[in-house]
Amino acid sequence: MVFAEKLIAWQQRHGRRGLPWQGTRDPYRIWLSEVMLQQTQVSAVIPYYERFLARFPTVEALAAASEDEVLRLWSGLGYYARGRNLHAAARQIAAQGFPKNANQIEALPGVGRSTAAAIAAFAFGERAAILDGNVKRVLARCFGLETEKALWQQAECLLPSRDIETYTQSLMDLGATVCVRGNPRCEACPVADQCIARRTGRTAELPAPRARKPLPQKAVTWLVLRQNGEILLEKRPAPGIWGGLWSFPEADEKDVGVCLQRLGCEMDSAQPLAPLEHGFTHFRLQIRPLLCDVTRKNLRVDEPGRLWLTLPAAAAAAIPTPVRTLLGRLAP
């Protein structure tokens, strides 16, 4: 029995069942799940996926929404460029229709080669090879491969002539539940007998781990401006960290006065709050919040990109996780 046949048979007996995006050919639902699953675990994605579908049951509904609303529902899922790209792609799809093959799907904002192949396989039954992180690990270990080019070539060669959806799902499930990064369950693997890494004792070496460098530290001061029970949030520019989300104004500690002047406020009192830390892929962010009770000199309607909100209204906005954490601390 060849590699693909073994995986298909294993999937039918041991694969994951009952995930909310399974059992459908709807390309919108499949695309939504694949985008959410990029760099995010299944357990974390499920509630977000269900909330998105409840609010945006069709791609047209998603396209008609504001970016603020999309990012509000995305808040907490991380990698916010995915949410912005999802919204942009929805508008493109609503105008032009859903693309019908992997090459066309890859042209959508935020969709790479492997994600496009997965969507095409599940929605249209296209024989397209996937190579996400879990699949790379399976193929690297089983066939002793170390380069991206060799892994893609192997992935293409292994494609079965039938049951492409089951085979694609089997690769994902095997990497996620059996051929895991640490302590793989080789005894449960359907292709353990042909695994080069297992036979040669190189399971821990393949795929070759990336050299980890110490993450640089960055520090910012957040101005938590409060007046009459309301706090000020600013919309962060996109692209950039938390682009399109609402956050507290940032300032250098030496320039707090200048920042307050820019925001049209005068400080009545200031109190440092307990610092927060937030990790990103390439650095760690140290956040020093400064709670400032202020008087607003400018009482005009909120300027674009700035909002004075009550704590409950702010918590319901499209905000990053550290902002939500800090709002929780401020709640009475």
Specify the pLDDT at position 301.
45
DSSP 273: -
DSSP, collapsed to helix, strand or coil, labels residue 126 as coil
Measured CA to CA, the distance from residue 205 to residue 74 in angstroms comes to: 36
Q: Examine the residue annotation and report whether 148 is marked as an active-site residue of this protein.
A: no
Cα–Cα distance list, 17 to 23, 31, 178 (Å): 9, 18, 15
What is the number of alpha carbons within 13 Å of residue 147 lying toward its C-beta? 3
Token output for 46: 């499920």
Identify residue 153 by its one-letter amino acid code.
Answer: Q
Q: Are 293 and 232 in contact (CB under 8 A)?
A: no
DSSP character string of 275-315: -EEEE-SS-EEEEEEEEEEEEES--SSPPTTEEEEEHHHHH
Q: Residue 206: what are its φ and ψ, rounded to 5°?
A: -115, 135
Domains and CATH numbers, the chain: 3-200 (1.10.340.30), 217-330 (3.90.79.10)
What is the pLDDT at residue 212? 77
CA 113 to each of CA 78, 237, 281: distance values in angstroms, whole numbers, following the listed order: 21, 28, 21
Catalytic residue from among 5, 34, 69, 303? 34
pTM of the complete model beyond 0.85: yes
The helix (run of H) or strand (run of E) holding residue 62 is: helix 59-64
DSSP string, 224-246: EEEETTEEEEEEPPSSSTTTTSE
Complete DSSP assignment for 158-207? T--SS-HHHHHHHHHHHHHHTS-SSS--GGG-TTGGG-HHHHHT-TTTSS
Per-residue pLDDT of the chain (332 residues; tens, 9 = 90+): 699 999 999 999 999 999 999 999 999 999 999 999 998 999 999 999 999 999 999 999 999 999 999 999 999 998 999 999 999 999 999 999 999 999 999 999 999 999 999 999 999 999 999 999 999 999 999 999 999 999 999 999 999 999 999 999 999 999 999 999 999 999 999 999 999 999 999 999 999 877 778 889 999 999 999 999 999 999 999 888 899 999 999 987 778 888 888 888 888 999 999 999 999 888 999 999 999 999 876 644 456 789 999 999 999 999 999 999 999 999 88
Query: In the prediction, which pLDDT does 208 show?
Result: 83
Supply the pLDDT for residue 296.
Answer: 76
